Amino acid sequence: MDKKKMALCTPIPEDKLDVIKEYCEVTVCGELKHGKGNVTEEMTKEECMGNELVVLGDEYAGAQTIKEWADAGMKFLGVAKGTPATVDYDAIADAGLELSYTPGRNRVAVAEYTIGLMIASARNMTLSAAGLLKGEHTGEACDIYDVPDVKNVTFGPLDEKHPFTDYGVGFELYGKKLGIAGYGAIGREVAVRAKAFGMEILAYDPYLDSEKIKADGAVPADLDTMLSESDIVSIHLPVIPATKGTVNKEWFSKMKRTALLINTARAYVIDQKDFVEALQNKTIGGAAVDVYWKEPVPANHPLLSMRNVVCTPHMAGLTTDVDGWSGKMMGDEVIAYLKGEPRKYLWKLRR
């Protein structure tokens, strides 16, 4: 049997790869060969040219790249991402191809991180932790092992010098309402975990059957209800043209002035200027963000200097486990194609 040619740019577990190699000659390309962030689109195009199967990770493939691959015989394209925004959908559709991807591959990683940001923001954790590192609310240097015999050790009287006064007293998640914008794989994982904290979940997703939301113990809500009643709003919207800048001043004006906004999706869905102004003007209480409109986030970005904002450098979706999940899913997609079986994870190409 003549083997097919496959260009592989992302890890696939050995047990899956062994099956694939029975059908394919596999060439390692892209970031799997050169390392994260060390690949241009031109490099990817050249290395993957002439392969029937092309499996990408974070590599970009625009319209011309995809057209040239298809003209050279590409029949399978996979992108091991939860949202395959790094490829041109129209070009894939024009070539008459389908697109395999790995939905929900990092849903647990992002959901856990989102809960962490909610707690950090609600309890002012990063503000107070950074304050201690800068020497705020610390005592004079001393012999740290010479400990006084005091049972109730505290930071002192609750006055203007107390950390509570400086950083503020946060609130518990228990009993609060969490609004989830976008009840997909990640939104649902956040909801399930938030329920364990005793939160009430208001889920806004006009494209999802409300019965699926109710099955998780969440409450389907229209946008206005979700925004006006939630103590925390967590964004899990997909990156598509219809969602660009959709989280804007109209959203913020409907939220509680004490409400927090959490974003571990993409900055693409938030109007940057409206967001900054809402935080500066205290239209909303605060925010926690892991994603930005330009990355690395510019050093002069106002979010970095706001005491009511928790900022982290786009870390939510990556753990030591994520490549394993996405690799398994993509491996199954490749094997299904090679065996002529239906594929499970196909992106709906939007024309």
Catalytic sites, residue numbers? 266, 295, 314
CB of 231 closer than 8 Å to CB of 204: no
Torsion sign across C-alpha atoms 173, 175, 179, 182: positive
CB of 20 closer than 8 Å to CB of 6: yes
Helix (H, G, I), strand (E, B) or coil at 117: helix
CB of 274 closer than 8 Å to CB of 283: no
Return the closest-CA partner of residue 245 out of 209, 205, 207, 272.
Answer: 272
Residue 324: which residues within 8 A CB-CB, separation 6 or more? 13
Alpha helix stretches (DSSP H) within the chain: 14-23, 30-34, 41-48, 63-71, 89-94, 107-122, 125-133, 163-167, 185-196, 210-215, 223-229, 249-254, 272-280, 322-338
Return the closest-CA partner of residue 23 out of 50, 48, 56, 1.
Answer: 1
